[in-house]
Amino acid sequence: MSAVKTALVLAGGGSLGAVQVGMLRALVEASVAFDLVIGASVGAINGAYFAAKPNAQGVAELADFWRGLRKADVFPFSLMDTVAAILRRRGFLLQSSALEHLVRRALPVRLIEDTELPLYIVTTNLLTGAEELLSSGSAEQALLASAAIPLVFPCVQIGDKWLVDGGVASNTPIASAVALGATRVVVVPTGFGCACPCPPAGLVALALHTLNLMSMGQLVRDIELYSSRADIHVVAPLCPLGISVFDFSQTDQLLQRAYQQTLIWIEKGGLVHTGVPGSLQAHTHPAR
């Protein structure tokens, strides 16, 4: 009988990446062990930190990082820079300097292969649309590529490939986990603002929101597609959730709520049961 190989898969989802940290805290407390980590977009950033420090202390440090995060740290809007982007037809709205500083500050390792657990960072080839899985080289460059939202941030050249946000090809890379030999997959999603009263305002906020909705659809599809090849356990996302993927003002509430809900999910057999959580299916909530 072959040994079980467990993959931790982290989805993208902007500011809702804080939810994943609360989930990880509960999983670590439950002594869930992982053999490899795969992440896309913000899930790649969280995944890189966890792969480097896969323990309670590492998760606590990651939570502190999130508590100190503000929208301007990720999306430093400037009227002059936006006008310059339009006039110069440069293909992206925001410079990546703030994101570079953020990633550099968050990273406990320099190279992907230096992490304690094997780490795979999901990016998308801008020319072919194919998923590109990075498992060696500069962790900073790989994460910048995985988080390079098209039209918002510039693409990143690594070798002879031009790479953008991993969420375009595979925001929740279950397929990659199975291809890497995982027989058990624990998916840590971000969820979506199912209780938001209206769509977010602004180009970037709307782009993030749309990409996140696409990714949740991908996740549901991939769970159904790969359920015969691996045991897939999806940590239940927060629901109802009235926070957009562009809102960094409620991080602590997200951390605490996700932690408490994941403890309940584990207690109710979440690490035994498989299938698609109802909160991942397309739905809304009555306006309050």
- 154 upstream amide cis, omega within 30 of 0: no
pLDDT at 239: 93
Closest CA to 59 of 67, 50, 51, 68: 50
| CB 163, CB 209: distance < 8 Å | no
Give the pLDDT mean for 24-48. Answer: 96
Q: Residue 250 to residues 44, 121, 192, 247: CA-CA distances in angstroms?
A: 21, 27, 14, 7
pLDDT at 283: 80
Angle at which helices 97-106 and 139-146 cross, to 10°: 130
Segment (H or E) for 134:
strand 131-134
**Letter string b/e over residues 23-34, b meaning 16 or more CB atoms within 10 A of that residue's CB:** bbbbbbeeeeeb
Tens of pLDDT, residue by residue over 237-285, are 999 999 988 899 999 999 999 999 999 999 999 999 998 888 888 887 8
pLDDT at 17: 94
pLDDT at 15: 92
Give the pLDDT mean for 107-134. Answer: 96
Lowest mean pLDDT among 120-134, 159-173, 182-196: 159-173
pLDDT at 168: 86
User: Predicted confidence band at 208 (pLDDT cuts at 50, 70, 90)?
Assistant: confident
User: Predicted confidence band at 205 (pLDDT cuts at 50, 70, 90)?
Assistant: confident
pLDDT at 63: 97
Positive or negative: CA dihedral 24, 26, 29, 30 = negative
pLDDT at 161: 96
User: Predicted confidence band at 98 (pLDDT cuts at 50, 70, 90)?
Assistant: confident
pLDDT at 52: 97
Q: In DSSP terms, which residues pair with 205 in a beta bridge?
A: none
pLDDT at 34: 98
**Letter string b/e over residues 164-202, b meaning 16 or more CB atoms within 10 A of that residue's CB:** bbbbbbbbbbbbbbbebebbbbbbbbbbbbbbbeeebee
pLDDT at 231: 97
pLDDT at 197: 85
More reliable by pLDDT, 192 or 203: 192
Tell me, what DSSP letter sits at residue 201? P
| CB 157, CB 209: distance < 8 Å | no
Q: What is the mean pLDDT of the chain?
A: 90
Give the pLDDT mean for 23-46. Answer: 96
pLDDT at 273: 93
pLDDT at 116: 98
More reliable by pLDDT, 248 or 170: 248
H helices present in the chain, as ranges: 17-29, 42-52, 56-67, 71-74, 79-88, 97-106, 139-146, 167-170, 174-179, 203-226, 251-267
Tens of pLDDT, residue by residue over 44-83, are 999 999 999 999 999 999 999 999 998 888 887 666 666 6
User: Predicted confidence band at 288 (pLDDT cuts at 50, 70, 90)?
Assistant: low
